Structure formats: structure tokens, C-alpha cells
Chain A
Amino acid sequence: MLIKLTGGRVYDPANGVDGEIRDIYVRDGKIVSPPEDGRVDQEYGLHGRIVMAGAIDPHTHIGGGKMTIGRLMLPEDHRGDPVCHTHLTRGGCGHAVPSTLTAGYRYAEMGYTACFEPAMLPANARQAHMEMADTPMVDKGAFAMLGSDDFFLRQLAAKDDIEAIKDYVAWTIHASQAIAVKVVNPGGISAFKFNQRELDLDEQHVHYGITPRDVLLTLSRSLKELGVAHPLHVHGCNLGVPGNVETTERTIAGMEGLPVHLTHIQFHSYGTEGDLKFSSGGARIAEMVNKHKNISIDVGQVLFGQTCTASGDSMRQYGNTKSANPKKWVVMDIECDAGCGVVPMKYRDKSFVNALQWAIGLELFLLIDDPWRIFLTTDHPNGAPFTCYPHLIRLLMDKGFRNDMMQKIHPDAAAASILGTLDREYTLYEIAIMTRAGPAKSLGLRDRGHLGVGAHADITVYDDNPDREAMFGTPVFVFKNGEVIVRGGKIVKVVHGDTHVARPDFDPSIEKSLRDYFSRYHTMSFDNFKLSDAEIEDGGRGGVIIQPTAARSTS
């Protein structure tokens, strides 16, 4: 069947299309050239409407054990947002840590068609994928967490050959069905198990003697040489600690030009000026990012209200427990692999610190020049639930609205930020880069995030509503693989997305060392650790899509 989307204003940055009136043709789930015979089976008149590829969230905590801890811990939050079943959709709950089913529905209802879980512990990969399989509507993918796992730290401490480390990194991507690798508080999650309470960039791990800098350089180089599209996804040292702007600057400068993605950088952009010894490092970080083209970032914007922070960073999350609201929290040490910390948080606009966090995030958005290197995230649910994205987009696109919001925050925070002096308003083209083309390019999704011929027909259509919050909150149509799944912001068809993975090459002889390591120390056998394609595909909850990697190289 040939479908024609007629007359919409198309924003497709991957193909350089900036608001041109274009027709789009779809056949068998993909975007195709206009048919030679001109025959069209179904037509959607989109005159006056805005057309973009389906949105892609490159960093959202939607699946895995720590999210389910958050769910189980916060019944009071769910009770405020019950979701009834319909003849199409299942019951669930929303807000800070929504049920998987509701998360899938709500992402689709906002025009998102792919979501990436950024902190999958390899030891917890099976569960993370099961949760993502129960997140309908959207495509998924996950980043395997490395850098505090004992196998890697032993390799690093023993100064193993970089090729063996690369083999292990690649093996982990295969075994956990990941598309990329994330490092969280490099070496610090392990150091916390040895009772270290902080680990700065050049501080030594008490047991292994290695530093976070060693971890970052080794992993970023490994991924580059393995040909994995997405650079090392870095949750740096000292998250949330006033003064961490300097650590972040040193991290950027210290990457020796290797590609890295610094995630939720807002939480790493804090100075120590002022009476409360808490100030914005937004301008400093933006300048560093602008200068270093090897760096991409996502913001991790804070928005006000109740949420729940959930991170692999057990060390820093333990430090954050004093701010828990409500006063309950979970910290875990996990399987000689990683850790986690789940701490509920209520960001208040009348709190100086929270208000300044809000302003710092917006400063970063507005001061970083290149929208191809900055992605729109709240680090769901750490800065705010993903359902706040339309509000965030309006803050970026509408200076008047932003200034109105600034009137409501703690006046000292407003005074301590340069936000009020920033006039930039994001364009629709830039929003399309930040929420579609940029993440797709960074993650190496060759046929997602754009509207060129051959792309999957994941397409979102909006009314050109000057209230951009309303516009992005309620798409007119969302197409997934060429089918209408959302109409007028409501689900009309339930589908299951696919799981995107990468498969970099590795020398299978690494499995010998791993098999020995598992049998000596682990409580799970090497063979059972590995997650097969069949486990993801069985049950009809979507397939596995292997995205390309470049040829492996050495330096």
C-alpha cells in the first residue's frame, strides 16, 4: 500500500530540509520515492502542519532493576496518576517512574518512536531487556555499563593489552545486547565498595590503583577503535558536587581529542561561588563544549516537581540521600559489576539550589552553539519525568515564556544566572536536530531520525501551534513503520518496537578468560550470563536490529 503525506512543512535536518513544503511517500513501512505511476492508496492532507521524523530519546531510564526499585518504592507517586485500561491499552500508572506500559504509550503520544536506556548493568541486562520488551510502541536500545566492573578494572590494573580490553568491551556489548557503552563515575562505583566516598579524575582507586582518567581514556579509545558509532557515554566524576565544573573542564580537556558524550552535563556544571557556595558553571562548560568538537552532550534538564533520581552511581547517590524527598532511598552494590542508587527528589522553584539547577540547564542549552552535539533530555526521571519535554521545548523556543517562568523561581537564583540575558530561541529545525537527527546520527541509527528515501517511516505530524508546549504534547499523527499509531495525541494502535544493537568484532579467545573468571568468582555461569536474540524476539515483542559498526582498528 502506498501512503502519501501531502503538503506538510517538513523539518528533516539529516537531509538538510528546513521547513519546506514537501510530500512524503510510504510503502511497506519505509519512506520511498514518489511512485512513477502516481497511484496512491491512502493520502493524508497535512497542509499547514509540521512534519518531522519520530523523536528519539537518547538517554532515558525506562528499563532495568533500578527503575523497578523506584516503581516499588513510590506507590504514593503512582496514586496521583492512575492509568485505566482501554479496549486497546493496558492499565498502569504514570508520573515519576511510570509503569513500562504507560511509559511506552506516553512516549508515543508525544511523538517519540525510539528510546534508549543508558545504564544497563550487564548483570541485569536480561531484566532490562524484559522491561523494555514490555515498553510498547517505541524502538529501544541500551548502553552497557562498564568501568566499575571488576573484570575490566583487573585488566586495567594489570595493564593488559588494549586489544584484550577491546575484546572484552565488544564481548560485553554482544552478551548484554547493547548498542553502546556507558561509564558511570569511572571506577567510583567500585571504589565505593572499598569505602571510598569520592574519586576525582586523577584520584587513585584504593584497590586497583587506577584513576577515572585511565578508565575514560581506555574505554573511549576502545569504542572508537571497535568502530562503535556512539562514543563512550560518560557520566563523569563528582555528579552533583558543587565545584564539579572544574572536574568536567579537566575531563573535556583530558580526552585527548577522543570522541566522548558527556551525559546530563547540567549535574556536572556547578561552581562554588556565592553565599551558599553553589553557582552556575554553565557558561564555562558551554565554552569548553563549543571549543572541543570531539564532545557531545545531553543536558539532563531539571524541571520543578516530584521526581525520583535513579543512577548507577552508588557513590554519589549515597551522598545525595540527605536530600531524599520523601525520606527513603535505596543504594545497592551489584555483582562485582556495578551498583545503583535510587533517591526520590522534589525540585522546588523556591529552592535556591533547585532553581539554579534549572537555570544552569537552560544556560547550557542556549549557550552551546551546535545543535548536532547537544541532545534534549531531562535524564528521565533524574531531572524530571520525560513527560515534561513539551514544556522544556517551549522554554527553549519562547523567550517570553522563559522569562515569565524565571519570575517564579527563587529570586537569588535568577540573579545568579545569566539566563535572563540570553535571547536565543530555538527554531523548529534546531529542535528537530536535537530530538531526531542528532541522536540518530550519534547512535548510528542509519534509517531512523530522518525522512529520506529508505528511512523507516517513523513520522510525527504536529499542528503549527504557536504554543509549542501544546504542539509538542499532542501530535496530530504518529506513524510507526508507516502505520498510524497515534491520532490527536491518543493511541489508536498498539505496536511493539524493535531493539537496536551493535555487534563490534572481538577475538573469541577472550571468552576463555571470561569463562575462567565467571567460574572462579561469579554466582552465575558464563553461558547463562549471555542474552540471546531469541530471548528478546520470543513472544512477539519486537525484533533485534543490528546497526552497523565501522571496521575494527588499532592505533
Chain B
Amino acid sequence: MSAMGENADASTFENVVCPFCGLLCDDLEVERQGTDLKIRKNGCHRAVVGFERALPASKPQIAGKDVSLDEAMTAVAQMINKASLPMYGGLSTDVGGMRAALSLADRSSGVVDHAFSGAAKHNMAVLQQAGWITSTLTETRNRADLIVIAGSDIHKLHHRFFERIVCPEETMFQDGAIKRTVVFIGDGLDQSGAKGACIDEVITLPCPLEQADEVLAALLARMRGKPIASQDVAGVAVSDIEDLAKRLHEASYSVLVWAVGELKVPEPELFVHTLCETVKLLNRTTRSAGLSMGGGEGAITANSVCGWQSGYPLPVSYASGAPKYDPEFNSIDYKIASGEGDLLVWLASFTTDLEPPETSLPTIVLGTPGIKLKRQPEVFIPVGTPGIDHAGQLIRNDSVVSLPLRALLAPRHPSAAEVLSAIEAKL
């Protein structure tokens, strides 16, 4: 909602959705002064960097030389036409951008893969092998009496997770706020967010993050009644692990939180599987749920749109004409290494940090102006940022809620969806 007309030079926008991490906080107040944005309320550090950044002037380029948008798109279409296996990577975009990328990939028999699907595939593997019981942000905020932060630094990843989900002033099923215990599995996780009236107790099982899987496995083993030979596991006393098991059994609604991309354990899939089996076991007698966080750079959106349009999670290959899913052999890293892929189209429309992989293959970047690049791509097309330059939608990292993005500025660059659709029309 705009306090003044959205076309005026100076405006204040309320309930703005922040697209710069998977939490999609939607309570920001952002002020526009000319072409600058300033966060007035509820911006974390990451949001300030994203909204308030000054982007360099940027034009479409071929081999480093400024060209018109149409010339650049024509060149891209020609390169795609010539390619035997175009690879559409990065995919840091909104729903509209992802729809356009899938359409283009389908039409050109290419491969689609998000920059973060190498981590997300571990979650997908657990989903496809065993499944899980999960919760969402609002449910967790109001209901959880025990929250376990498992092996990943959630506060570092989502600066407002604790403020908004763990430590709210009020929850629904009590007078005032619920009293909850927060348990950190892993040494060195940022615990500074776990504060306020609703925090009853903070407990740490200080294992090295690389060994968080051992502690989790010991927890599940003890909950299953299996003996553990030693007195400690990864530096954590077995009695402390047993204490956590007891607390989980006694909790009315525990939530076990992880962010797969932040895990330091050697086998993330095994870690996620163990966590989800722990939750399942608890649900035989009480209630418990997992909560998967992360999902920045539009990763959840990309995976969901690919899921509903193709039937599969990322990465997907359309090389045969029908979508095919293979988390290893369809990944862009593999396609580059194997020499099967011969053209990289990299899409990065949120942060300027999402670099394309290093490759000597011809590379096209549809990116935020100022995006870090190790080398000059064959074609560069600046694209707008969803939620700043143009409207759109993103799906939050609990994979349930999706939020509307608004245009806060007169668009400086076209949306990825517009560019990709125009390129497809030129094939």
C-alpha cells in the first residue's frame, strides 16, 4: 500500500516483500526518493544491501560492447539455435521469470538448474525416499514449545527468523507469548537472536558442525532404545543427548529447523533423513515437525514452478523433448564437466553475488547490473529485480506461502520474463 501515489517521485510503501532471502519478510516500509530506495522499517542488513544499493548504469552488451536490447536478444536467440544443449542456470528469478525460462528450455531442448539445487537435491532425495512431517512459519511461531536449530546457522542466514518466528511478543494459544526452549545442535551457531520474554531456556549441544550428524544419529538411536557404547558423541555427553530426547518427547509441539545449504556435515542427505525420521518417531505419541529454511535467490520458487510445470524438481533436462529429472547427470556442473552442454545462459536477478560457474563455454548473462563476473560473457543483458523494478510473485521457504512483489521504481531494465519470452519468440 502506498501512502502517496506510486507514480510520485517520493513515496512510502508499506508491507513491502523483501526478495533477498527465502524468508520473504513482508512487513518492510520502504521510502522512494527519486530513483533511490531507503528502508524505514523492518529491514535486516541483507535487505538494506538489496534495496538501498546503487547499481551501475548498464546496457546490453555483446562482447563487452553496448548494443540495443533487440540486438542482444537476437544474438542470444542465434546462439541458442546453434547450441546442441543450452543450459539455463542460476534461475534466480520470480515465478514469471521461471515460467519463461522453462518455456524457453522446453522449446530449445535445454537443461534447467538453479544455482542452489546442488544443496536442495539432498532435501529432494529425502522427500523422494521417505518423506517428512513439516510445519510452516506461522504455525511454528504460534505453536512450538521446543525449537531445535540443527547443524545450520539459521540466524546468520535469515536475520529476522528469531525475531519473527522464535521470539514474537504474542502467540495464539496462550495469554501473551508461549514459553519455549531453544536448542542449538552445533558449536558456534549464532544464538544472539534467542532472546526475549518467550525464551524459557537456551540449550547448546556444542559439537563441531561437521559432526552434527553424529549427534543427531545418537539422538535417534537413543529414542529408538538403542544403546550407545561411549559416554560422549562428537564432544557432547550422551546424557545431554538423552535429555534432549526426553524434552522432545515431553514437548507438545517441537520443531526441528535446518537449512540444507548451510550444513557442514559430510552427508547432508543422511542428516536431513535422520532429522525427518526423528520427527516421524516423535509423532507416534506427540506432535513434532521439521522446518526447512534457506531458499534464497528464488530457489524455492524455481523448484516449485519447475515441479508443477514439468513434474520434477530441478535440475531437469528437456533434451529428449520430455522433461527428465536426474539430480546428478542433469546438473549444469556435470553438463559442463562432461562436455555435453555447449551454451550457458545464466539468470541472476536478485543479488549481485550469484556468479556463473567458471567455464570457457559461450556464456550469456541475464543479470543484475554490477553482478560479479570472473570474465566478460559473450552477451550481457541487464534485467530488473523482481520486487523493485517490476511486480511478480515469490514462494517462501516453507513452500506454502507465496507473496506478491511490487514495482517500487520505474523499471530500469526489463524483467527476466520479458527478455526470455522475447528471445523465445526469436528462435
Residues of A within 8 A of B (CB): 63, 65, 67-69, 71-75, 78, 82-85, 90-93, 97-102, 121, 123-124, 126-127, 130-131, 134, 150, 192-195, 207, 318, 324, 327-337, 342, 520-525, 527-528, 531-532, 535, 538-539
B161-175 contacts to A, CB under 8 A, are: 164-165, 170-173
B15 within 8 Å of A by Cβ? Answer: yes
Cβ–Cβ contact B401 & A123, under 8 A: yes
Could you say which of B14, B164, B172, B322 contacts A523, with CB atoms under 8 Å apart?
B164
B360 within 8 Å of A by Cβ? Answer: no
B96 within 8 Å of A by Cβ? Answer: yes
CA distance A90 to B305 in the complex (A): 14
User: Top 5 nearest A-B pairs by Cβ distance?
Assistant: A84-B321, A82-B322, A93-B311, A328-B131, A99-B311
B320 within 8 Å of A by Cβ? Answer: yes
Contacts of A98 in B (CB 8 A): 311
Cβ–Cβ contact B170 & A92, under 8 A: no
Contacts of A333 in B (CB 8 A): 134-136, 139, 143, 287, 289
| Interface SS majority for chain A | mixed
A–B complex contacts, Cβ < 8 Å, 22 sampled: A68-B399, A71-B312, A84-B320, A84-B321, A85-B318, A91-B106, A93-B310, A93-B323, A100-B309, A124-B402, A126-B393, A130-B305, A327-B130, A330-B133, A331-B134, A332-B135, A333-B134, A334-B400, A335-B139, A521-B138, A524-B401, A524-B403
Cβ–Cβ contact A131 & B308, under 8 A: yes
Q: Nearest chain B CB to A81's CB is how many angstroms away?
A: 9
Cβ–Cβ contact B308 & A134, under 8 A: yes
Cβ–Cβ contact A525 & B135, under 8 A: no
Could you say which of B1, B135, B322, B403 contacts A85, with CB atoms under 8 Å apart?
B322
CA distance A72 to B129 in the complex (A): 11
Q: Nearest chain B CB to A95's CB is how many angstroms away?
A: 9
| Interface SS majority for chain B | mixed
Contacts of B128 in A (CB 8 A): 72-75, 328
Cβ–Cβ contact A91 & B321, under 8 A: yes
Cβ–Cβ contact B310 & A126, under 8 A: no
> Other CB < 8 Å A-B pairs besides A72-B307, A93-B322, A127-B400, 8 of them?
A92-B311, A123-B138, A193-B139, A195-B286, A334-B400, A520-B172, A521-B170, A523-B165
Contacts of A195 in B (CB 8 A): 252, 286-287
Q: Nearest chain A CB to B46's CB is how many angstroms away?
A: 17
Cβ–Cβ contact A90 & B309, under 8 A: yes
Cβ–Cβ contact B308 & A126, under 8 A: no
Which residue of B124, B283, B312, B403 has the most chain A CB atoms within 10 A of its CB atom?
B312
Which residue of B142, B305, B310, B324 has the most chain A CB atoms within 10 A of its CB atom?
B310
Chain B residue nearest to A128 (CB atoms) is B402
Cβ–Cβ contact B1 & A72, under 8 A: no
Cβ–Cβ contact B136 & A334, under 8 A: yes
Chain A residue nearest to B406 (CB atoms) is A528
Cβ–Cβ contact A83 & B322, under 8 A: yes
CA distance A127 to B24 in the complex (A): 15
Contacts of B95 in A (CB 8 A): 130
Cβ–Cβ contact B404 & A336, under 8 A: no
B99 within 8 Å of A by Cβ? Answer: yes
Contacts of B137 in A (CB 8 A): 335, 523
Which residue of B27, B103, B320, B400 has the most chain A CB atoms within 10 A of its CB atom?
B400
Q: Nearest chain A CB to B1's CB is how many angstroms away?
A: 6
Which residue of A131, A335, A531 has the most chain B CB atoms within 10 A of its CB atom?
A335
Chain A residue nearest to B326 (CB atoms) is A75
CA distance A524 to B165 in the complex (A): 12
Q: Nearest chain B CB to A413's CB is how many angstroms away?
A: 29
B127 within 8 Å of A by Cβ? Answer: yes
Contacts of B305 in A (CB 8 A): 130
Cβ–Cβ contact A525 & B308, under 8 A: no
CA distance A428 to B127 in the complex (A): 44
Contacts of B17 in A (CB 8 A): 528
Q: Nearest chain B CB to A309's CB is how many angstroms away?
A: 13
Chain B residue nearest to A100 (CB atoms) is B308
Which residue of A97, A99, A524 has the most chain B CB atoms within 10 A of its CB atom?
A524
Task: Using known A-B contacts A65-B399, A100-B309, A525-B27, determine if residue A73 contacts B172 with beta carbons closer than 8 Å.
Answer: no
CA distance A127 to B141 in the complex (A): 22
Cβ–Cβ contact A330 & B132, under 8 A: yes
Q: Nearest chain A CB to B67's CB is how many angstroms away?
A: 28
Q: Nearest chain B CB to A21's CB is how many angstroms away?
A: 43
Which residue of A97, A130, A194, A531 has the most chain B CB atoms within 10 A of its CB atom?
A130
Q: Nearest chain B CB to A216's CB is how many angstroms away?
A: 23
